[in-house]
Amino acid sequence: MGGSYLIQPVVAFYSFGLFMTIPLLQQYVYARLWEQLSSAPYSSSQSAQCVNSSSNLTFTIMEVQKQASVFILYAELSFLVPSMFSCPLLVSCSDSLGRKAAIVPPLLGNLLFSVCCFLISCFSLDLHFLLGASFVAGLFGGPSALLGGCFAYVADRCREEARAGPGPGAGGSVGGAMQRPGGSPETEVRQGPSRRRTLSMASVDLIWGLIAGLAPACTGVLIYAIGFRWPFLIVFLLYLLTLAYVVLVLGDSLASVIPLPSPSSSSSSSSSSSSSSSSSSCSSLRGCLGLSRQKLLGQLQSVYMMFGTGSRRRNTALGLTLAVFALFKMCRDGGMSIIILYQLNQPLCWSELLIGCSSLLGMIVHLGSYAGVSFFSRCLGDANVVLLGLLSLAGGLLMAAFAHTTLLMLLVRLPLILSDMPSAVLRSMMSNLVPGSEQGAVFACVVFLEMLSACVALVVFNSTYAATVTWFSGFSFLLASLLTVIPALLIGVLKGLPQNREEDRYHLTAEEVDVGTGVVEATITGAV
């Protein structure tokens, strides 16, 4: 049918399954390695033995920590390396095949991965099968491709609402579309479509973040109650439910935003645009997977053309914003990737229930970040909001590096309360810099850099943790905190770019005209 345009249920159900899997898999690997190295079964009472451990047990714990860190690194790289290539392709394809082309494949990949994890836990198969399952899941794009498609979907809907907002009476006047009586064009543009888009993307990040706190808490309770096996099956059912919603219910936003191709276009594209939404999702997936070599090169060229058709200042601003986003993700994801191993290690020695409670407190971070974006976007520029988020991230990671008691580790979430703000704001800044026809291209760049930064972060921080766990287990947090200085400096450079009022600051991107209503959509491209 394809009658609903709510993308939030997709983000909610998918993220619940994903964030159940991450701590579940890490603790399962830790438990299996413990059983192999100690020749003793792993149980929830392991935390008490960790606190009151002898020298021999301490050596075993450190060895399990090292091997678990290295194995998780291999598993993540097995997933990230293929997804670095599949993610940009899927998100870029969504510009012509519909946003479902970037949403459906990750769901299929996670379905296969959850089935493999369930079988491995049921039959105690070799852990190296997880590496193969991770590689196969990476070929389908993973969470970055799905998020890229969802953010592009949100951008499409915001553009459609902005286009329909002034109404037929606005005529073709650009000033009528941008300015209210008594207000300047600058104020209206800043507080209008740009801010709505920022808040819409922040709401997706909020849902993602709230589930990121709730799902691991449920995982801890489930592991304590029923072990490792059945939670993997629950994750499979969540992904199946999400896939059914996308294919059968969710409508594609692109058909109502991007103008339909002319009759001289290829017959394949015209037939695709005239089909129903539910059937177009399946045909889009088949089309994306069956693209010819020439078509693939064309999709990759769209990313290059995004920079080739822009002004020098716009390209500089876009490049700097992409670099800031990649470095921010590397610091945040790299620092937080080893937090579960850190909590399982001495002197904390947390159980799965405490790990779940800590993740539940992480909801405060995402609520605080959303409230921060809503408040600070009214009185500060986007660049200053990003700087506040980087400062919050640096403070929280620095505190985590020296958190050696349960209370202090739980309080780490307080300085991190604004640390998610840069994610939504940077995405909105990049979306504002390009026209609607290039949203998929810019988010393809975003997901590629996100995967690349994740690869670098995993190699750097997991290797650092394995090398320093015996003498200072918090060194990885300290390193991540220091590295946040680099994106902060780049934001300073971005703020210092010269303003070209005639071409860049209030640039109307191609004046995307709706032929039926004659409404001109104005999109600011220099709101930094």
> Using CA atoms, how far apart are residues 48 and 347, in angstroms rounded to an integer?
11
Let me know how long the chain is: 528
Question: Quick one: 264 exposed, middle or buried, by C-beta within 10 A (0-12, 13-18, 19+)?
Answer: exposed
Rg value, the chain, Cα: 24
Is 150 in contact with 11 (CB distance < 8 Å)?
yes
Q: Does 48 have pLDDT greater than 70?
A: no
pLDDT of residue 299: 59
Query: Which has the higher per-residue pLDDT, 233 or 520?
Result: 233
Q: What are the tokens at 452? A: 């690349």
pLDDT of residue 138: 94
pLDDT of residue 528: 32
pLDDT tens per residue across span 11-25: 999 999 999 999 999
Q: What is the mean pLDDT of residues 235-252?
A: 93
Residue 399, SS3?
helix
Q: What is the mean pLDDT of residues 201-221?
A: 88
Residue 507, SS3?
coil
Q: What confidence tier does 405 reach under pLDDT thresholds 50, 70, 90?
A: very high
Among 113-127, 189-203, 259-273, 280-294, the range with the most confident prediction by mean pLDDT is 113-127
Residues in a beta bridge with 513: 520
What's the start-to-end Cα distance of the chain, in Å? 41
Place of tokens 């650009």: 174
pLDDT tens per residue across span 494-519: 998 876 544 444 343 343 433 333 33
What DSSP designation does 265 have?
A: S
Residue 125, SS3?
coil
Q: Does 178 have pLDDT greater than 50?
A: no
pLDDT tens per residue across span 417-464: 999 999 989 998 998 888 877 787 788 788 788 888 989 998 999 999
Q: Does 397 have pLDDT greater than 80?
A: yes
pLDDT of residue 192: 58
Q: What is the mean pLDDT of residues 244-273?
A: 58
Q: What confidence tier does 399 reach under pLDDT thresholds 50, 70, 90?
A: very high
What DSSP designation does 484 have?
A: T
pLDDT of residue 209: 84
Q: What percent of the chain has pLDDT over 90?
A: 43
**Mean confidence (pLDDT) of the chain:** 80
pLDDT of residue 482: 96
pLDDT tens per residue across span 274-332: 344 444 445 544 554 454 455 556 656 777 778 877 788 888 999 999 999 999 999 99
Identity at 196, one-letter amino acid code: R
> Using CA atoms, how far apart are residues 277 and 206, in angstroms rounded to an integer?
28
Q: What are the tokens at 219? A: 């995982």
Question: Taking every pair of C-alpha atoms in the chain, what is the biggest distance, in angstroms?
Answer: 80
Query: Which has the higher per-residue pLDDT, 282 or 216?
Result: 216
- The residues near 408 (Cβ < 8 Å, ≥ 6 apart) are 399, 402
Which helix (H) or strand (E) segment is 513 a member of?
Answer: strand 512-513
**131, HSE (Cβ side, Cα atoms, 13 Å):** 10
Q: What confidence tier does 387 reach under pLDDT thresholds 50, 70, 90?
A: very high
Identity at 83, one-letter amino acid code: S
pLDDT of residue 261: 41
pLDDT tens per residue across span 111-165: 999 999 999 999 999 999 999 999 999 999 999 899 989 988 988 888 877 777 5
Is 97 in contact with 287 (CB distance < 8 Å)?
yes
Q: What percent of the chain has pLDDT over 70?
A: 77
Query: Which has the higher per-residue pLDDT, 288 or 415?
Result: 415
Q: What confidence tier does 222 reach under pLDDT thresholds 50, 70, 90?
A: very high
